[in-house]
Structure 1
Protein backbone atom coordinates (compact mmCIF):
# COMPACT_ATOMS: atom_id res chain seq x y z
CA UNK A 1 0.00 0.00 0.00
CA UNK A 2 1.57 3.28 -1.14
CA UNK A 3 -1.01 5.81 0.11
CA UNK A 4 -1.62 6.33 3.81
CA UNK A 5 -5.22 7.44 3.20
CA UNK A 6 -6.02 3.90 1.99
CA UNK A 7 -5.16 2.26 5.33
CA UNK A 8 -8.62 2.61 6.85
CA UNK A 9 -10.54 1.26 3.81
CA UNK A 10 -8.12 -1.69 3.59
CA UNK A 11 -8.70 -2.52 7.27
CA UNK A 12 -12.48 -2.46 6.73
CA UNK A 13 -12.19 -4.67 3.65
CA UNK A 14 -9.83 -7.23 5.19
CA UNK A 15 -11.05 -7.48 8.80
CA UNK A 16 -14.82 -7.02 8.71
CA UNK A 17 -17.37 -9.50 7.33
CA UNK A 18 -19.73 -8.49 4.53
CA UNK A 19 -22.63 -7.34 6.72
CA UNK A 20 -20.52 -5.22 9.04
CA UNK A 21 -18.75 -3.52 6.14
CA UNK A 22 -21.98 -1.87 5.07
CA UNK A 23 -22.78 -0.81 8.65
CA UNK A 24 -19.28 0.62 9.08
CA UNK A 25 -19.44 2.52 5.79
CA UNK A 26 -22.91 3.85 6.66
CA UNK A 27 -21.63 5.02 10.06
CA UNK A 28 -18.59 6.61 8.42
CA UNK A 29 -20.74 8.37 5.83
CA UNK A 30 -23.10 9.59 8.55
CA UNK A 31 -20.21 10.95 10.61
CA UNK A 32 -18.79 12.78 7.60
CA UNK A 33 -22.17 14.29 6.72
CA UNK A 34 -22.78 15.28 10.34
CA UNK A 35 -19.44 17.09 10.51
CA UNK A 36 -20.03 18.73 7.13
CA UNK A 37 -23.49 20.09 7.90
CA UNK A 38 -22.30 21.28 11.33
CA UNK A 39 -19.43 23.22 9.75
CA UNK A 40 -21.68 24.68 7.05
CA UNK A 41 -24.28 25.70 9.62
CA UNK A 42 -21.64 27.29 11.85
CA UNK A 43 -20.01 29.18 8.97
CA UNK A 44 -23.36 30.45 7.65
CA UNK A 45 -24.44 31.50 11.16
CA UNK A 46 -21.21 33.41 11.78
CA UNK A 47 -21.52 35.19 8.44
CA UNK A 48 -25.22 35.99 8.90
CA UNK A 49 -25.26 37.07 12.56
CA UNK A 50 -21.77 38.41 13.22
CA UNK A 51 -21.07 40.03 9.84
CA UNK A 52 -24.26 40.67 7.89
CA UNK A 53 -26.61 41.61 10.72
CA UNK A 54 -24.09 43.43 12.89
CA UNK A 55 -22.04 45.37 10.34
CA UNK A 56 -24.15 45.48 7.16
CA UNK A 57 -27.69 45.87 8.46
CA UNK A 58 -26.74 47.30 11.87
CA UNK A 59 -29.22 45.04 13.65
CA UNK A 60 -32.16 46.02 11.40
CA UNK A 61 -32.52 42.77 9.42
CA UNK A 62 -35.79 40.84 9.71
CA UNK A 63 -35.84 37.14 10.66
CA UNK A 64 -36.97 36.16 7.15
CA UNK A 65 -34.09 38.13 5.65
CA UNK A 66 -31.59 36.45 7.99
CA UNK A 67 -32.88 33.01 7.02
CA UNK A 68 -32.53 33.86 3.33
CA UNK A 69 -29.00 35.20 3.78
CA UNK A 70 -28.08 32.09 5.78
CA UNK A 71 -29.27 29.83 2.98
CA UNK A 72 -27.40 31.83 0.35
CA UNK A 73 -24.24 31.77 2.50
CA UNK A 74 -24.53 28.00 2.93
CA UNK A 75 -24.84 27.50 -0.83
CA UNK A 76 -21.85 29.79 -1.41
CA UNK A 77 -19.74 27.86 1.09
CA UNK A 78 -20.71 24.55 -0.56
CA UNK A 79 -19.74 25.92 -3.98
CA UNK A 80 -16.44 27.22 -2.66
CA UNK A 81 -15.72 23.84 -1.05
CA UNK A 82 -16.41 22.03 -4.32
CA UNK A 83 -14.08 24.35 -6.21
CA UNK A 84 -11.37 23.99 -3.57
CA UNK A 85 -11.60 20.19 -3.33
CA UNK A 86 -9.25 19.48 -6.31
CA UNK A 87 -6.55 21.58 -4.64
CA UNK A 88 -6.88 19.54 -1.46
CA UNK A 89 -6.69 16.32 -3.49
CA UNK A 90 -3.28 17.29 -4.87
CA UNK A 91 -1.68 17.46 -1.41
CA UNK A 92 -1.48 13.66 -1.01
CA UNK A 93 -2.91 13.47 2.52
CA UNK A 94 -6.17 15.15 3.51
CA UNK A 95 -5.37 14.83 7.23
CA UNK A 96 -1.99 16.51 6.81
CA UNK A 97 -3.58 19.28 4.76
CA UNK A 98 -6.20 19.95 7.45
CA UNK A 99 -3.59 20.02 10.20
CA UNK A 100 -1.36 22.31 8.15
CA UNK A 101 -4.25 24.65 7.33
CA UNK A 102 -4.98 25.10 11.04
CA UNK A 103 -1.68 26.96 11.26
CA UNK A 104 -3.41 30.02 9.79
CA UNK A 105 -5.83 30.11 12.74
CA UNK A 106 -4.60 28.27 15.84
CA UNK A 107 -1.43 30.32 16.70
CA UNK A 108 -3.43 33.56 16.89
CA UNK A 109 -6.22 31.98 18.93
CA UNK A 110 -3.70 30.36 21.29
CA UNK A 111 -1.82 33.61 21.83
CA UNK A 112 -5.07 35.52 22.47
CA UNK A 113 -6.25 32.92 24.99
CA UNK A 114 -2.95 32.83 26.86
CA UNK A 115 -2.76 36.61 27.18
CA UNK A 116 -6.40 36.69 28.16
CA UNK A 117 -5.74 34.23 30.97
CA UNK A 118 -2.47 35.63 32.32
CA UNK A 119 -2.56 39.35 31.46
CA UNK A 120 -5.17 41.77 32.76
CA UNK A 121 -3.88 44.75 30.80
CA UNK A 122 -3.84 43.38 27.24
CA UNK A 123 -6.15 45.47 25.00
CA UNK A 124 -8.67 43.83 22.67
CA UNK A 125 -6.85 45.34 19.69
CA UNK A 126 -3.82 43.17 20.49
CA UNK A 127 -5.86 39.95 20.25
CA UNK A 128 -7.61 41.01 17.03
CA UNK A 129 -4.32 42.13 15.50
CA UNK A 130 -2.60 38.88 16.46
CA UNK A 131 -5.29 36.72 14.84
CA UNK A 132 -5.14 38.80 11.66
CA UNK A 133 -1.34 38.96 11.64
CA UNK A 134 -1.06 35.19 12.02
CA UNK A 135 -2.37 34.60 8.48
CA UNK A 136 0.41 36.44 6.57
CA UNK A 137 3.13 35.33 9.00
CA UNK A 138 2.26 31.64 8.68
CA UNK A 139 1.79 31.95 4.91
CA UNK A 140 5.19 33.63 4.56
CA UNK A 141 6.84 30.82 6.53
CA UNK A 142 5.20 28.20 4.33
CA UNK A 143 6.44 30.04 1.25
CA UNK A 144 9.99 30.82 2.37
CA UNK A 145 10.64 27.63 4.37
CA UNK A 146 8.80 24.86 2.48
CA UNK A 147 11.12 22.10 3.73
CA UNK A 148 10.50 22.87 7.41
CA UNK A 149 7.70 20.95 9.16
CA UNK A 150 4.47 22.92 9.41
CA UNK A 151 4.37 22.36 13.18
CA UNK A 152 7.58 24.40 13.42
CA UNK A 153 5.92 27.09 11.32
CA UNK A 154 3.05 27.14 13.80
CA UNK A 155 5.45 27.47 16.74
CA UNK A 156 7.36 30.33 15.09
CA UNK A 157 4.09 32.06 14.20
CA UNK A 158 2.90 31.75 17.81
CA UNK A 159 6.14 33.27 19.12
CA UNK A 160 5.85 36.19 16.68
CA UNK A 161 2.23 36.81 17.67
CA UNK A 162 3.04 36.53 21.37
CA UNK A 163 5.78 39.14 20.93
CA UNK A 164 3.31 41.37 19.06
CA UNK A 165 0.73 41.11 21.83
CA UNK A 166 3.37 41.78 24.49
CA UNK A 167 4.48 44.94 22.68
CA UNK A 168 0.86 46.08 22.29
CA UNK A 169 0.29 45.46 26.00
CA UNK A 170 3.30 47.59 26.89
CA UNK A 171 2.38 50.40 24.49
CA UNK A 172 -1.40 50.51 25.02
CA UNK A 173 -2.33 48.76 28.28
CA UNK A 174 -5.86 48.84 29.57
CA UNK A 175 -6.34 51.54 32.22
CA UNK A 176 -7.90 48.99 34.57
CA UNK A 177 -8.58 45.24 34.41
CA UNK A 178 -12.00 44.37 32.97
CA UNK A 179 -14.58 43.19 35.48
CA UNK A 180 -16.35 39.97 34.66
CA UNK A 181 -20.03 39.56 35.62
CA UNK A 182 -20.82 37.34 38.55
CA UNK A 183 -21.77 33.89 37.32
CA UNK A 184 -24.10 31.55 39.23
CA UNK A 185 -22.39 28.57 40.87
CA UNK A 186 -22.10 25.50 38.66
CA UNK A 187 -22.83 22.12 40.31
CA UNK A 188 -19.78 19.89 39.97
CA UNK A 189 -21.16 16.66 41.46
CA UNK A 190 -20.61 13.62 39.26
CA UNK A 191 -23.10 10.88 38.63
CA UNK A 192 -22.57 7.73 40.75
CA UNK A 193 -22.65 5.69 37.51
CA UNK A 194 -19.83 7.71 35.94
CA UNK A 195 -17.02 5.59 37.39
CA UNK A 196 -18.63 2.31 36.34
CA UNK A 197 -19.30 3.59 32.82
CA UNK A 198 -15.74 4.85 32.51
CA UNK A 199 -14.33 1.51 33.62
CA UNK A 200 -16.63 -0.23 31.14
CA UNK A 201 -15.32 1.91 28.27
CA UNK A 202 -11.73 1.21 29.28
CA UNK A 203 -12.48 -2.50 29.43
CA UNK A 204 -14.14 -2.52 25.99
CA UNK A 205 -11.19 -0.61 24.51
CA UNK A 206 -8.74 -3.14 25.99
CA UNK A 207 -10.89 -5.99 24.64
CA UNK A 208 -10.77 -4.49 21.13
CA UNK A 209 -7.00 -4.23 21.35
CA UNK A 210 -6.76 -7.90 22.36
CA UNK A 211 -9.08 -9.02 19.55
CA UNK A 212 -7.30 -7.14 16.79
CA UNK A 213 -3.71 -7.34 18.07
Structure 2
Protein backbone atom coordinates (compact mmCIF):
# COMPACT_ATOMS: atom_id res chain seq x y z
CA UNK A 1 0.00 0.00 0.00
CA UNK A 2 1.40 3.39 -1.03
CA UNK A 3 2.36 5.75 1.74
CA UNK A 4 0.15 8.84 2.03
CA UNK A 5 1.98 12.06 1.23
CA UNK A 6 2.01 14.95 3.64
CA UNK A 7 1.26 18.49 2.47
CA UNK A 8 4.87 19.50 1.90
CA UNK A 9 5.69 16.37 -0.09
CA UNK A 10 2.60 16.76 -2.26
CA UNK A 11 3.41 20.43 -2.92
CA UNK A 12 7.00 19.54 -3.82
CA UNK A 13 5.85 16.87 -6.26
CA UNK A 14 3.40 19.26 -7.90
CA UNK A 15 6.11 21.91 -8.31
CA UNK A 16 8.39 19.31 -9.90
CA UNK A 17 5.64 18.20 -12.27
CA UNK A 18 4.92 21.80 -13.31
CA UNK A 19 8.62 22.42 -13.92
CA UNK A 20 8.81 19.36 -16.18
CA UNK A 21 5.76 20.53 -18.17
CA UNK A 22 7.14 24.07 -18.43
CA UNK A 23 10.48 22.80 -19.75
CA UNK A 24 8.71 20.50 -22.22
CA UNK A 25 6.65 23.46 -23.46
CA UNK A 26 9.82 25.49 -24.01
CA UNK A 27 11.49 22.64 -25.91
CA UNK A 28 8.42 22.07 -28.08
CA UNK A 29 8.28 25.77 -28.93
CA UNK A 30 11.96 25.68 -29.93
CA UNK A 31 12.08 22.39 -31.85
CA UNK A 32 8.59 21.01 -32.40
CA UNK A 33 7.31 17.54 -31.59
CA UNK A 34 10.11 15.67 -33.38
CA UNK A 35 12.70 17.56 -31.35
CA UNK A 36 11.22 16.64 -27.98
CA UNK A 37 13.78 14.66 -25.99
CA UNK A 38 12.95 13.22 -22.58
CA UNK A 39 16.66 13.29 -21.76
CA UNK A 40 16.88 17.02 -22.44
CA UNK A 41 13.65 17.66 -20.54
CA UNK A 42 15.23 15.92 -17.57
CA UNK A 43 18.45 17.94 -17.83
CA UNK A 44 16.69 21.30 -18.13
CA UNK A 45 14.22 20.48 -15.35
CA UNK A 46 17.12 19.27 -13.16
CA UNK A 47 15.58 15.86 -12.55
CA UNK A 48 16.44 12.35 -13.65
CA UNK A 49 15.01 10.66 -16.74
CA UNK A 50 13.34 8.19 -14.38
CA UNK A 51 11.64 11.06 -12.54
CA UNK A 52 10.16 12.35 -15.80
CA UNK A 53 8.69 8.92 -16.50
CA UNK A 54 7.39 8.68 -12.94
CA UNK A 55 5.13 11.61 -13.76
CA UNK A 56 4.51 10.87 -17.45
CA UNK A 57 4.60 7.28 -18.67
CA UNK A 58 5.13 8.30 -22.30
CA UNK A 59 5.97 11.32 -24.43
CA UNK A 60 2.31 11.33 -25.49
CA UNK A 61 1.27 11.91 -21.86
CA UNK A 62 3.77 14.74 -21.64
CA UNK A 63 2.39 16.31 -24.82
CA UNK A 64 -1.15 16.06 -23.46
CA UNK A 65 0.00 17.77 -20.25
CA UNK A 66 1.44 20.64 -22.29
CA UNK A 67 -1.79 20.96 -24.27
CA UNK A 68 -3.84 20.86 -21.08
CA UNK A 69 -1.80 23.69 -19.59
CA UNK A 70 -2.10 25.92 -22.66
CA UNK A 71 -5.80 25.30 -23.28
CA UNK A 72 -6.60 24.86 -19.62
CA UNK A 73 -5.23 28.31 -18.77
CA UNK A 74 -7.60 29.82 -21.29
CA UNK A 75 -10.61 27.77 -20.23
CA UNK A 76 -9.90 28.31 -16.54
CA UNK A 77 -9.92 32.07 -17.12
CA UNK A 78 -13.62 31.96 -18.01
CA UNK A 79 -15.56 34.31 -15.80
CA UNK A 80 -19.18 33.29 -15.39
CA UNK A 81 -21.33 35.55 -13.27
CA UNK A 82 -24.93 35.30 -12.22
CA UNK A 83 -27.21 32.55 -10.90
CA UNK A 84 -28.20 29.39 -12.81
CA UNK A 85 -30.57 29.91 -15.73
CA UNK A 86 -33.38 27.77 -14.34
CA UNK A 87 -35.71 28.18 -17.32
CA UNK A 88 -33.04 28.37 -20.00
CA UNK A 89 -33.50 26.61 -23.33
CA UNK A 90 -30.97 24.75 -25.45
CA UNK A 91 -30.54 27.91 -27.50
CA UNK A 92 -29.80 29.87 -24.30
CA UNK A 93 -27.15 27.32 -23.38
CA UNK A 94 -25.48 27.67 -26.77
CA UNK A 95 -25.49 31.48 -26.52
CA UNK A 96 -24.05 31.25 -23.00
CA UNK A 97 -21.20 28.98 -24.07
CA UNK A 98 -20.48 31.06 -27.16
CA UNK A 99 -20.29 34.21 -25.01
CA UNK A 100 -17.88 32.48 -22.62
CA UNK A 101 -15.59 31.38 -25.45
CA UNK A 102 -15.65 34.88 -26.94
CA UNK A 103 -14.61 36.33 -23.56
CA UNK A 104 -11.16 34.69 -23.66
CA UNK A 105 -8.26 34.92 -26.09
CA UNK A 106 -8.73 31.40 -27.36
CA UNK A 107 -7.11 32.22 -30.70
CA UNK A 108 -3.78 33.10 -29.08
CA UNK A 109 -3.74 29.76 -27.26
CA UNK A 110 -4.58 27.84 -30.43
CA UNK A 111 -1.82 29.64 -32.34
CA UNK A 112 0.69 28.63 -29.66
CA UNK A 113 -0.51 25.03 -29.81
CA UNK A 114 -0.20 25.02 -33.59
CA UNK A 115 3.37 26.33 -33.46
CA UNK A 116 4.18 23.50 -31.04
CA UNK A 117 2.27 20.60 -32.61
CA UNK A 118 2.19 21.69 -36.25
CA UNK A 119 -0.70 22.75 -38.53
CA UNK A 120 -3.85 20.67 -38.34
CA UNK A 121 -3.90 18.08 -41.10
CA UNK A 122 -0.11 17.81 -41.28
CA UNK A 123 0.70 15.98 -38.04
CA UNK A 124 1.29 12.31 -37.58
CA UNK A 125 -1.33 10.09 -35.91
CA UNK A 126 0.35 10.49 -32.52
CA UNK A 127 -0.06 14.28 -32.50
CA UNK A 128 -3.65 14.09 -33.72
CA UNK A 129 -4.39 11.73 -30.82
CA UNK A 130 -2.81 14.24 -28.43
CA UNK A 131 -5.01 17.03 -29.79
CA UNK A 132 -8.08 14.84 -29.38
CA UNK A 133 -7.24 13.79 -25.82
CA UNK A 134 -6.34 17.36 -24.84
CA UNK A 135 -9.68 18.66 -26.10
CA UNK A 136 -11.52 15.89 -24.24
CA UNK A 137 -9.68 16.77 -21.05
CA UNK A 138 -10.36 20.52 -21.06
CA UNK A 139 -14.01 20.00 -22.05
CA UNK A 140 -14.75 18.96 -18.46
CA UNK A 141 -14.51 22.59 -17.32
CA UNK A 142 -17.01 23.79 -19.90
CA UNK A 143 -19.43 20.94 -19.17
CA UNK A 144 -19.31 21.58 -15.42
CA UNK A 145 -20.05 25.26 -15.96
CA UNK A 146 -22.81 24.51 -18.46
CA UNK A 147 -24.53 22.02 -16.13
CA UNK A 148 -24.44 24.50 -13.26
CA UNK A 149 -25.74 27.38 -15.35
CA UNK A 150 -28.43 25.36 -17.16
CA UNK A 151 -29.69 22.63 -14.79
CA UNK A 152 -32.84 21.96 -16.83
CA UNK A 153 -30.96 20.97 -19.99
CA UNK A 154 -30.38 17.17 -20.08
CA UNK A 155 -26.77 16.20 -19.37
CA UNK A 156 -26.51 14.31 -22.66
CA UNK A 157 -27.46 17.43 -24.58
CA UNK A 158 -24.88 19.46 -22.64
CA UNK A 159 -22.15 16.94 -23.47
CA UNK A 160 -23.15 16.84 -27.14
CA UNK A 161 -23.10 20.62 -27.43
CA UNK A 162 -19.76 21.08 -25.66
CA UNK A 163 -18.22 18.31 -27.76
CA UNK A 164 -19.61 19.91 -30.92
CA UNK A 165 -18.14 23.27 -29.93
CA UNK A 166 -14.67 21.91 -29.25
CA UNK A 167 -14.64 19.71 -32.34
CA UNK A 168 -15.83 22.62 -34.43
CA UNK A 169 -13.08 24.85 -33.06
CA UNK A 170 -10.48 22.38 -34.36
CA UNK A 171 -12.03 22.57 -37.84
CA UNK A 172 -12.30 26.37 -37.68
CA UNK A 173 -8.70 26.73 -36.61
CA UNK A 174 -7.54 24.51 -39.46
CA UNK A 175 -9.43 26.66 -41.97
CA UNK A 176 -8.22 29.87 -40.31
CA UNK A 177 -4.60 28.66 -40.33
CA UNK A 178 -4.76 27.89 -44.04
CA UNK A 179 -6.02 31.40 -44.84
CA UNK A 180 -3.98 33.39 -42.32
CA UNK A 181 -0.63 31.55 -42.26
CA UNK A 182 -0.89 31.88 -38.46
CA UNK A 183 -0.40 35.66 -38.64
CA UNK A 184 -1.92 37.34 -35.60
CA UNK A 185 -3.26 40.65 -36.98
CA UNK A 186 -6.53 42.61 -36.67
CA UNK A 187 -7.55 41.30 -40.10
CA UNK A 188 -6.88 37.64 -39.26
CA UNK A 189 -8.62 38.01 -35.91
CA UNK A 190 -11.65 39.42 -37.70
CA UNK A 191 -11.52 36.41 -40.02
CA UNK A 192 -11.56 34.04 -37.04
CA UNK A 193 -14.49 35.93 -35.49
CA UNK A 194 -16.42 35.63 -38.75
CA UNK A 195 -15.73 31.90 -38.95
CA UNK A 196 -16.75 31.46 -35.30
CA UNK A 197 -19.98 33.45 -35.79
CA UNK A 198 -20.88 31.31 -38.80
CA UNK A 199 -20.26 28.15 -36.79
CA UNK A 200 -22.48 29.34 -33.91
CA UNK A 201 -25.30 30.23 -36.30
CA UNK A 202 -25.21 26.74 -37.77
CA UNK A 203 -25.20 25.14 -34.31
CA UNK A 204 -28.04 27.38 -33.15
CA UNK A 205 -30.26 26.36 -36.06
CA UNK A 206 -29.93 22.73 -34.99
CA UNK A 207 -30.08 23.13 -31.21
CA UNK A 208 -32.89 25.70 -31.22
CA UNK A 209 -35.23 22.99 -32.49
CA UNK A 210 -34.68 21.09 -29.22
CA UNK A 211 -35.97 23.88 -26.99
Instruction: Assess same fold via TM > 0.5.
Output: no
Structure 2-normalised TM-score?
A: 0.30
Structure 1-normalised TM-score?
A: 0.30
- Whose radius of gyration is greater, 1 or 2? 1
